[in-house]
Amino acid sequence: MKAAMSLVGSQGIVSATEVLLAAAVFCLVFLLIQSLRQHVPKGLKSPPGPRGYPILGNVLELRKDPHLALTRLSQKYGDIMEIRIGTRPVLVLSGLETIRQALVKQGEDFMGRPGLHSFQYISDGQSLAFSPDSGEVWRARRKLAQNALKTFATTPSPTSSSTCLLEEHVSKEAEYLVAKFLQLMDEEKSFDPYRYVVVSVANVICAICFGKRYDHNDQELLSLVNLSHEFVEAAAAGNPADFIPVLQYLPSRTMTLFKDFNKRFLHFLQKIVKEHYETYEKNNIRDITDSLIEQCMEKKVEANGATQIPKEKIVNLVNDLFGAGFDTVTTALSWCLMYLVTYPHIQKKIQEELDKTIGQERRPRLSDRGTLPYTEAFILEMFRHSSFVPFTIPHSMTRDTVLNGYHIPKDRCVFVNQWQVNHDEKLWKDPLTFKPERFLNAEGTEVNKVDGEKVLLFGLGKRRCIGEHIARWQIFLFLSTLLQQLEFSVCDGKKVDMTPIYGLAMKHKRCEHFQVKQRFPMKSMN
C-alpha cells in the first residue's frame, strides 16, 4: 500500500502528493511566463488562434501538410492569427491584402528572420536569405548580390549581340535536354526527366556564377543537386526541431542529412572560390565569383560605405546566388512537365502558339514572352495551382507594431501562407481547377498583369527572393524550347502522382514513365 502511494527515485522516497504539487507549480509558472509574454498595450488586442496543448502547442495539428492545416484554421480565426509550436508563439498571415500590408507597407517591421535552429547550419549561419541580420551591412550585401546576378545574367552574349548570357546558357542546356531525352527514348523507352532537368538548371547558374558547366555524369555535382530535398525538408516552415529545443538533442535523420548536405555544399563552393582566387585576373572578370572577388580585393566602397565584402563572406554570397537560381527553377520545370502530361490538350495549345508565333526556324527568346500569352498564362497557373513554395522563409518582427488593430510584439516569428492566397476563393473562381485561361483577357491575346501579381511564390517586400526575375526567365526559356521540339506523355496505363510532398519547396513523387516524341526533324537552329 505504501509503495502504491509513493515513487522511488535516486534520492529516496518521494510522495505522489509532492509530485503533483511540483507539477502544479510548474504549470502555474509556465502560465505566468506566457501571460507576461502576451502583454498587450491598452486599447489593442492579441491575434486570435487555437488553444493548443500544454508544452506541445499546436504542433500535432501541423504534423501533416501545415499549409492546409493553417489554411483551414485561418477560415475560422481570420487572416491574422496566432498559433504555438511548442511553447513558442507564431503569427500566421493569410489573405493577399493582409500580407501586402505587412510585407510591403509595413515592410521594415516584418523584415527580420527568426534565429531558428536549422538556419545556423545554412552557409555557417551567414546566408543572406536565412540570416537574422537585417541591418545596413546586410542590405548593402543583398543589393550587391542582386546586382551581380542581374548584371551577369543580362550581359550581352559574346557570340550574339541580340541575346544575353542567361539566354545563351539556357538555350544550350535546353538543346542538350532535347537531345538527351530523345537518346533515352531510343535506349530505354521511358525515363525520369527530373534527374536530367536538375543538372541542366544547375549548369545555367554554374555558368553564371563559376564560368563553367558540368557533365551530366559529374558525380560531385550529381550527389549535391539530386539530394536537394534533404535541404528543403528541414528548412520548411514548422520544423518542430526549430521550436521545441529538446528535439535538437534527440537523434533525427532529417537534421543529420540536412547538416551533412550543407557541409558538403559549402565545401563544394569553397573549393570553387579558392580556384577563382588562384586564377583571378583584374582585367578578366569571368563570372559572378570573380566580380565578388574584385569587390573584396580592390576594396570598392559605395557612398554609404557598406558594400565592401570580407574575403570569408564571398562563399556565403555565392551560396545564396546559387540557391536563388537553382531549386525554384528545377521544381517549377518539374511541375510543368507533370501538368503537361496530365492535361495534354493544354500542352497542345502551347505548342500551337509556339508554332504560330515562332515557328521552327529559330529558338524561343526572352523577347518572345510578350507574344506568347498562353505560355505565360500556363506558367502563372502552374505557380498558383501547385503553390510549390507554400510559405515564405519565416519572417520575424524587428520591433513592436500594430497590424489591422492587432498588437504584434518584437521578435515574434511570422509564417506567411502563400498557398492560402493562391487558393483563396475570394480571389480565384474554382481555385482547385487548373485553368491557364484565368490569366488571359477575353480575346486570349494578353496576360492580365493585375491577376498575375496576385500569385504569391517568391515572397513580397524587402525579403523578396533576389533571383525571382532570373528564375521566371529561365522557366520560360526552358519550357518553350522543350515544347517547341518535343511532345511529352507517359507510358500507356501509367499515371503521374501530383500529390505534393511538404517542404520549403514542395516536390512531387518522381515518375520514371515519361516518354517524348520529336515534333519535327532535328536541325540546327539560330
Quick check: is 152 in a domain?
Answer: yes
The residue type of 180 is K
Do 11 and 43 fall into the same domain? Answer: no
Interval 261-287 mean pLDDT: 87
Quick check: is 476 in a domain?
Answer: yes
CA 471 to chain centre: 11
Q: Enter the C-alpha cell of residue 505.
A: 519547396
Give the pLDDT confidence of 407-434 residue by residue, as tens digits. 999 999 999 999 999 999 999 999 999 9
Do 4 and 52 fall into the same domain? Answer: no
Quick check: is 525 in a domain?
Answer: no
Q: Please tell me the distance from the alpha carbon of residue 90 to that of residue 82, in angstroms, as a whole number.
A: 6
Q: Which residues contact 344 (CB under 8 A, 6 or more apart)?
A: 489
CA 358 to chain centre: 32
Q: Please tell me the distance from the alpha carbon of residue 194 to that of residue 336, in angstroms, as a whole number.
A: 11
Banded pLDDT at 14 (limits 50, 70, 90): very low
Do 432 and 475 fall into the same domain? Answer: yes
Do 302 and 427 fall into the same domain? Answer: yes
Contact 119, 113 (CB under 8 A): yes
Banded pLDDT at 93 (limits 50, 70, 90): very high
Q: Cα dihedral sign for 338, 342, 344, 346?
A: negative
Q: Please tell me the distance from the alpha carbon of residue 422 to that of residue 95, in angstroms, as a whole number.
A: 9
* Structural domain for 2, as ranges: 1-37
Do 31 and 46 fall into the same domain? Answer: no
Give the pLDDT confidence of 46-91 residue by residue, as tens digits. 999 999 898 889 999 888 899 999 999 999 999 999 999 998 999 9
Q: What do you get for the CA distance between the two ends of the chain, in Å?
A: 92
Contact 489, 128 (CB under 8 A): no
Region for 88 from its dihedrals, namely left if φ exceeds 0, alpha if ψ lies in -120 to 50, beta otherwise:
beta
**DSSP state, 57?**
B
Do 229 and 371 fall into the same domain? Answer: yes
Banded pLDDT at 13 (limits 50, 70, 90): very low
Q: Enter the C-alpha cell of residue 485.
A: 521540339
Residue 450 has pLDDT above 80, yes or no: yes
Whole-angstrom CA distances from 352 to 480, 483, 484, 487 are 11, 10, 9, 12
The per-residue pLDDT for 223 is 76
Whole-angstrom CA distances from 125 to 108, 115, 121, 235 are 22, 9, 6, 13
Contact 453, 439 (CB under 8 A): no
The residue type of 257 is L
Quick check: is 524 in a domain?
Answer: no
Do 15 and 3 fall into the same domain? Answer: yes
Interval 253-276 mean pLDDT: 85
Give the pLDDT confidence of 16-57 residue by residue, as tens digits. 455 455 555 555 445 444 544 556 777 789 999 999 898 889
Residue 526 has pLDDT above 70, yes or no: no
The per-residue pLDDT for 43 is 72
Quick check: is 505 in a domain?
Answer: yes
The per-residue pLDDT for 230 is 58
Quick check: is 330 in a domain?
Answer: yes
Quick check: is 130 in a domain?
Answer: yes
Helix (H) or strand (E) run with residue 7 in it: strand 6-9
Total structural domains within the chain: 2
Do 105 and 8 fall into the same domain? Answer: no
Quick check: is 366 in a domain?
Answer: yes
Contact 240, 59 (CB under 8 A): yes
Q: Please tell me the distance from the alpha carbon of residue 429 to that of residue 217, in angstroms, as a whole number.
A: 45
Do 31 and 49 fall into the same domain? Answer: no
Banded pLDDT at 118 (limits 50, 70, 90): confident
Do 201 and 154 fall into the same domain? Answer: yes
Banded pLDDT at 301 (limits 50, 70, 90): very low
The DSSP annotation for 195-233 comes to: HHHHHHHHHHHHHHHHS----TT-HHHHHHHTTTHHHHH
Percent of the chain with pLDDT over 70: 85
Do 98 and 245 fall into the same domain? Answer: yes
Q: Report the predicted TM-score, pTM, of the whole model to 2 decimal places.
A: 0.87
Q: Does 511 belong to an annotated binding site?
A: no
Helix (H) or strand (E) run with residue 42 in it: none
Q: Please tell me the distance from the alpha carbon of residue 317 to that of residue 289, in angstroms, as a whole number.
A: 9
Do 345 and 298 fall into the same domain? Answer: yes
